[in-house]
Amino acid sequence: MKARWRKTVYGGSRADWRTPCAKVMQGTAKVSSTAARQYFERYFAPVEIRAQSSMFTGYFEPELEGSRKPSRNYPVTVYRKPSDLVRLSKSSAKKLGMPYGRKTASGIKPYYTRKQIEQGALKRRGLELIWLKDPTDAFFLHVQGSGRVRLDSGEVVRIGFAAKNGRPYTAIGKVLIDWGELERKKVTMQSIRAWLILNPDRLNKLFWKNQSFIFFRET
């Protein structure tokens, strides 16, 4: 991004992105290679990578099936940020061993784990944002941090990261390796999903190994 000068020039600000994003939205589905090249040359600047090797990562935006109301078809709750979830000062975070905590009358305590939340720790507090059809989709939504939800009404909404419980994140792919269920070189999202389809009775046991839990908001 060709950002205006500032201390941090890579990536730019939200204002820097408005015009190039608007141009994309005005365009057509099919763009010639010449037009695409002109677009990137106009709005972006190449950056030399000096290291001998580099790693690129990416995220996709999943589209999930959901509803504004819970039912047998939509049993998985997506929660808003709770009011008792607080970000801790450096000294408090060091003492508790995590960056977030639960504010109580007797002081700050660790926030509920994924297992505790999914077993009902936040029920009847009005924190339900949306309900999803599939627990595996919901779990990977937490990994991605955002996604689109196609509601049973036909409406499509976007939800994004609002907060996290501060508990440690554990990659379930590593858990499956430790269990001897998957080979390290064969661990992918697809292989994990395939394992979950074949082992629905072990789904919660696997998911609860990851104590981290994400709270969302509509974006």
Phi, psi at residue 190, to the nearest 5°?
Answer: -65, -40
Contact yes or no for 183/149 (Cβ under 8 A): no
Contact yes or no for 160/176 (Cβ under 8 A): no
- The pLDDT tens digits of the residues spanning 44-92 come to 888 777 777 777 777 677 899 999 999 999 999 999 999 999 999 888 8
Classify residue 91: in a domain, yes or no.
Answer: yes
- The pLDDT tens digits of the residues spanning 164-214 come to 999 999 999 999 999 999 999 999 999 999 999 999 999 999 999 999 999
Same domain assignment for residues 77 and 17: no
Same domain assignment for residues 172 and 112: yes
Same domain assignment for residues 84 and 180: yes
Q: What pLDDT is stored for residue 28 in this prediction?
A: 66
Q: What pLDDT is stored for residue 205 in this prediction?
A: 98
> What is the average pLDDT across 150-177?
96
Which domain CATH number covers 184? 2.40.240.50
Q: Which domain holds residue 27?
A: 1-49
Which domain-ending residue is among 9, 24, 49? 49
Please report which confidence band the pLDDT of residue 24 belongs to, taking 50, 70 and 90 as the band edges. confident
Question: How far is it, in rounded angstroms, from Cα 136 to Cα 196?
Answer: 8
Q: What pLDDT is stored for residue 179 in this prediction?
A: 98
Classify residue 55: in a domain, yes or no.
Answer: no
Same domain assignment for residues 154 and 90: yes
Please report which confidence band the pLDDT of residue 5 belongs to, taking 50, 70 and 90 as the band edges. very low
Classify residue 34: in a domain, yes or no.
Answer: yes
Same domain assignment for residues 89 and 175: yes
Classify residue 54: in a domain, yes or no.
Answer: no
Domain count, the chain: 2
Which of 15-19, 32-36, 132-136 has the largest mean confidence?
132-136
Q: Which is more confident, 51 or 119?
A: 119
Same domain assignment for residues 89 and 174: yes
Q: Interhelix angle for 14-26 vs 33-43, to 10°?
A: 160
Same domain assignment for residues 41 and 133: no
Cα distances (Å, whole numbers) of residue 84 to 75, 80, 100, 110: 24, 12, 10, 11
Same domain assignment for residues 35 and 138: no
| Structure tokens belonging to residue 156 | 């499509």
> What is the average pLDDT across 4-23?
72
Cβ neighbors of 157 (< 8 A, separation 6 or more) are: 130, 148, 149, 151, 218
Same domain assignment for residues 97 and 135: yes
Same domain assignment for residues 182 and 129: yes
Q: What pLDDT is stored for residue 54 in this prediction?
A: 73
Same domain assignment for residues 78 and 124: yes
Q: What pLDDT is stored for residue 62 in this prediction?
A: 80
Classify residue 173: in a domain, yes or no.
Answer: yes
